[in-house]
Amino acid sequence: MAMAKTRDHLGRPVVAVTGMGVVSSLGQGIDDNWAALTAGKSGIHRITRFPTLHMRTTIAGTVDFLFPDEVRSPVLSERLAHLAAAEAVEQSGIGAPGDFPGMLFMAVPPVEIEWPARRDFFAGTDPEAGDAYDRMIQRVLSLNDPDTYEFALYGCVADRTADHFGTRGAPISLSTACASGASAIQLGVEAIRRGDTEAALVVGTDGSVRIEGLVRFSLLSALSTSNDDPERASRPFSKDRDGFVMAEGAGALVLEDYDAARARGAKILGVVRGIAEKADDFHRTRSKPDGSPVIAAIQQALDDGGVSTADVDYINAHGTGTPENDKMEAMSLEAVFGDALKGIPISSNKSMIGHTLTAAGAIEAVFSLKTIAEGLIPPTINYQNPDPAIPLDVVPNVARSQPVSMVLSNSFGFGGQNACLLIAAEPA
């Protein structure tokens, strides 16, 4: 007997989530993360992995509890990705170990040779051989170190992950700054909707808290300098918010064609109902003052999902805690939702886990699904000093028990990246 195919309001296949996994500064695995997140715990602490002398910011949400030693960023990004993806694949029960029957979409941080390697290459070279780079080039030609070489390639982490999980075809490495995790999910959703694959492994990972990364964000005045009280440093939507806190982590989702997932008896954790993206042409780091690109992204996500603002009962904010982001995000939401916005809970996971950059969109999608499953909304912690210009219900400081069936999850990034996901409970 042929089953009727499940289709969305535009006649497209429905995209289900059947597995998820997460690592953050709060812990490894969904359970530990969820317990800490809903208890309002912060994962932010002083940086001990490298010396922070001369740094304006000396705190971060690193994953030292798992990997205390300094390793190359892509190595850490790979380790975190594998932990999150393994949890997601296991929960979904899809395929067999090392044999994932679908494509891989992976948000990974940009890669480069880091200072410890650069110093190694430079040490003992011949000053007569030219400038510093000539000297290092001469040296690496005789080193023949394939491992260091491969981890300096942009495609390496995704390729190794594809090897490890046995995904199909060439993996895609996404880099859309702080929207990367959401972009990866969007790529997976689109591939399933057009029937290219019945399953996709989607991962966002970031293990790149390093000295130069810290300096870079610092120079752009993006980071909180509330070093004295790390757990209170990330203060989204507060009047005294002073920037985001860099953090590490990974989130992973197994996406599947809804009918295929049902046919194999998989438990459906939710669906990705709508996706949207809208680029901003205003400035490299600042949003257009009228908010129109963010507004368009939110509106398009609702349209793509075929729902109205009244259907959204929780917003998982980008909520970085920078003065500009939170203001812009609130203003744009208000433009779309109007007065009804005041009645919709909106919270920022970043108040607790910090800003996991490339991984954020994926991690926050996982937490959004968990919010739906548990009927429990994680709080925005450190909300002692409300910003009167942002009159939102930010679920202050304490988690709230409340049924949720549709979440809007926002992700915005440098370079005019605005991505929105509409994540919903399984269709009845």
Partner 1 sequence: MSAPNDVLVTGIGLVSSLGEGLDAHWQAMAETGARPHPAETDKFKPFPVFPMVPLELEKQIPRRADIRQMETWQRLGTYTAGLALDDAGLTGDAERLARMDMVVAAGGGERDLDVDGQILAGLETAAEPASFLNEHLANDLRPTLFLAQLSNLLAGNISIVHKVTGSSRTFMGEEIAGISAVEVAARRISAGQGDLFLVGAAYNAERKDMLLSLAMGRTLWQGEPASVWERGTTAEGGMITGSAGAFLVLESRAHAEARGKSAYAKLSAVLSGRSRRGPGDASAVARKQFDQLSARFGAKAPGVLSGANGIAAATAEERGLWEQLATEGKIGGVRATQTLIGNPIEAAFPVQVALAALAIARHGFYLPTDGSGIEQPAETPAQILATSWGFWRGEGMALVEAAD
Q: Give me the amino acid identity at 254.
A: V
Please give the distance of CA 421 from its chain centroid, rounded to a whole number. 12
Please give the distance of CA 192 from its chain centroid, rounded to a whole number. 21
Question: Which range of residues in 38-46, 63-71, 116-124, 340-348 is near partner 1 by CB under 8 A?
Answer: 116-124
> Could you tell me which of 413, 422, 277 has the C-alpha nearest to residue 357?
413
CA distance 361 to 185: 8
CA distance 41 to 115: 33
Find the shortest distance in angstroms from Cβ 137 to partner 1: 5
Active site annotation includes 156: no
Binding to partner 1 (CB under 8 A) within 20-59 occurs at 50-56
**Helix (H) / strand (E) containing 153:** none
Find the shortest distance in angstroms from Cβ 64 to partner 1: 18
* Binding of residue 310 to partner 1 (CB under 8 A): no
Binding mask 318-337 for partner 1 (x = CB under 8 A): --------------------
Active site annotation includes 318: yes
Question: Which of 75, 215, 331, 373 is in the footprint of partner 1 by CB under 8 A?
Answer: 215
| Helices vs. strands in the chain: H and E counts, helices first | 13, 15
Active site annotation includes 178: yes
* Binding of residue 7 to partner 1 (CB under 8 A): no
User: Is-contact 274 301, C-beta < 8 A?
Assistant: yes
Binding to partner 1 (CB under 8 A) within 403-422 occurs at 413-417
Q: Which of 82, 156, 178, 420 is catalytic?
A: 178
* Binding of residue 93 to partner 1 (CB under 8 A): no
* Binding of residue 279 to partner 1 (CB under 8 A): yes
Question: Which range of residues in 80-88, 89-97, 108-116, 329-337 is near partner 1 by CB under 8 A?
Answer: 108-116
Please give the distance of CA 121 from its chain centroid, rounded to a whole number. 33
Q: Which two tokens stand for residue 293?
A: 């690109």
**Helix (H) / strand (E) containing 106:** strand 103-107
* Binding of residue 166 to partner 1 (CB under 8 A): no
Question: Which of 173, 238, 322, 382 is in the footprint of partner 1 by CB under 8 A?
Answer: 173
**Known catalytic residues?**
178, 318, 355
